[in-house]
């Protein structure tokens, strides 16, 4: 997303080679097959990802009672919707939604590692795991959001939510102005993973 949190090319190449070696070893030992990694990646590209989060947020935008339930008991509210099986499965346990609005902007991070609600957001982008991003977002969220191109007014409180294996947070962004005539399906297209992490807001265009 922003260059500042990108790793150097040689570090990327080293990590990729290491992962390939580990995968080859696991296949050789019969712990996984040559399909396992691709299967997992495809699952999180096609079944579990930000398209689910977009459906949840769009419903919250059109149905205030659902939004209330979503904030109060996130897994139960998500279970009301027609989403793929396994929303409460891997990395989807203990999900909790927080809503932007009325002088509050929310940002999710994981200071410890990379905890992230996979079923609603997919696999975390690697800058989310970057130690510099993680520590700075906790210490100076306003400055970090500025670097992401998001200016939060000084009278708006920024709440930073630290995800863990016990709670995995995601943000319900505010419904953009000028979208009153849009259908729920059209609204889904305005909900980006960045907005559900709080490093961006949803916009009408």
Six token digits for residue 131: 């130690």
Q: Is 164 a catalytic residue?
A: no
Q: Which residue in 15, 102, 115, 163 is the catalytic one?
A: 115
In whole angstroms, give the CA distance from residue 108 to residue 111. 10
Q: Are residues 104 and 159 in contact, defined by beta-carbon separation less than 8 angstroms?
A: yes
Residues 64-123 interacting with Fe ion (rule: CB under 5 A)? 110, 112-115
Is the distance from CB of 43 to CB of 91 less than 8 angstroms?
Answer: no
Instruction: Confirm whether 114 is a catalytic residue.
Output: yes
Residue of 113, 135, 164, 183 marked active site: 113
Nearer to Fe ion, 87 or 109 (CB): 109
Considering only the C-alpha atoms of the chain, give the largest distance between any 2 of them, rounded to a whole number of Å: 58
- In this structure, what DSSP letter does residue 112 have? S
The 8-class DSSP code of residue 123 comes to S
183 is catalytic: no
User: Nearest approach, Cβ of 134 to Fe ion (angstroms)?
Assistant: 9
Shortest distance, CB of residue 114 to Fe ion, whole angstroms?
Answer: 5
Footprint (CB under 5 A) of Fe ion, residues 156-195: none
Tokens standing for residue 201 = 């807001």
Of 16 and 112, nearer to Fe ion (C-beta) is 112
CB of 112 to Fe ion, least distance (A): 5
For 160, phi and psi rounded to 5 degrees? -105, 125
The catalytic residues are 110, 113-115
Residues in touch with Fe ion (CB under 5 A): 110, 112-115
């Amino acid at each position: 997303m922003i260059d500042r949190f990108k790793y150097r090319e040689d570090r990327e190449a080293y990590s990729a080679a290491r992962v390939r070696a580990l995968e080859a070893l696991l296949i050789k030992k019969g712990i996984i097959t040559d399909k396992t990694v691709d299967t997992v990646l495809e699952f999180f590209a096609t079944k579990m990802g930000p398209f689910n989060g977009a459906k949840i947020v769009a419903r919250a935008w059109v149905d205030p009672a659902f939004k209330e339930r979503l904030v109060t008991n996130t897994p139960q509210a998500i279970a009301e919707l027609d989403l793929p099986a396994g929303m409460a499965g891997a990395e989807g346990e203990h999900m909790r939604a927080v809503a932007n609005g009325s002088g509050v902007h929310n940002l999710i991070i994981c200071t410890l590692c990379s905890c992230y609600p996979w079923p609603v957001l997919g696999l975390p982008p690697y800058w989310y795991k970057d130690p510099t991003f993680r520590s700075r977002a906790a210490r100076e969220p306003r400055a970090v959001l500025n670097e992401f191109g998001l200016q939060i007014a000084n009278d708006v409180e920024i709440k930073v939510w630290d995800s863990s294996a016990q709670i995995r947070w995601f943000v319900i962004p505010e419904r953009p102005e000028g979208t009153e005539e849009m259908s729920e399906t059209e609204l889904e297209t305005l909900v980006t993973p960045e907005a559900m992490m709080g490093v961006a807001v949803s916009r009408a265009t």
